[in-house]
Amino acid sequence: MTDRFDFKSYAQGLGFRVALFAFIGMGWDVLMTLLQQIVAGRVDPNASCPASAWMYLAYGGVPLIIYPAASLFKRLGLFYPARLAGLLVVFYLVELGFGSTMRTLGITPWDYNWYLQPKWTFHGLITWHPAFIAAWLVFVALMEWLDAAVRDSYPAIKEKLLDFWKTV
């Protein structure tokens, strides 16, 4: 991993990373909905946590943004906690933009107000509740690491995938 943005590294396995993050993100989305229920004190005994298929787009977009943003923050010389805070701000801006776009189209893939008191949200699109800030910090840290690991490992991953499909 380097501190400089490299388009070759950015493009390496990008389609695979987008698909991987879309599927991982759906699991995270269910976990975040459960966290909303826990914070609100309204846990569904059936563990039902609605997740919208639109979230595949949102989470699949993570690899498009995380590496360039992390590279920029490294280039600026930010220490890791400050980089994570910067990535969290970028994440919140993207969440706000994506959510606003969806709402403009008449689509509501999520709404923090479903479970949280409105004082903790901005129109249900983003939340500053401490439990969610902590959870999203964990998310951006994991996503930065996973994106870097998959980019660096992609040649071997691609070879293994090709070998697998040859035997199917």
Torsion angles phi and psi, residue 117, rounded to 5: -70, 140
CA–CA distance, 31 with 136 (Å, rounded to integer)? 11
Q: Which residues contact 93 (CB under 8 A, 6 or more apart)?
A: none
pLDDT of residue 88: 96
pLDDT per residue as tens digits for the range 59-89? 999 999 999 999 999 999 999 999 999 999 9
What is the residue-averaged pLDDT of the chain? 91
Name the 3-class secondary structure at 126.
strand
Split at pLDDT 50, 70, 90, the class of 115 is confident
User: Per-residue pLDDT tens for 130-159?
Assistant: 999 999 999 999 999 999 999 999 999 999
Reduce the DSSP state of residue 12 to 3 states and report it: coil
- Taking 3-state DSSP, the helix, strand and coil percentages for the chain, each rounded to the nearest 5, stand at 70, 0, 25
The confidence score (pLDDT) of residue 93 equals 94
The reported pTM is 0.87
Cα radius of gyration rounded to whole Å, the chain = 17
Pairing of strands 126-127, 121-122: antiparallel
Residues in the chain: 168
**Quick one: what percent of the chain has pLDDT higher than 90?**
70
Write the CA distances from 33 to 113, 139, 150, integer angstroms.
11, 14, 27
Q: From residue 39, give the alpha-carbon distance in Å to each of 34, 76, 112, 114.
A: 9, 36, 11, 12
CA-nearest of 157, 165, 163 to 12 is: 157
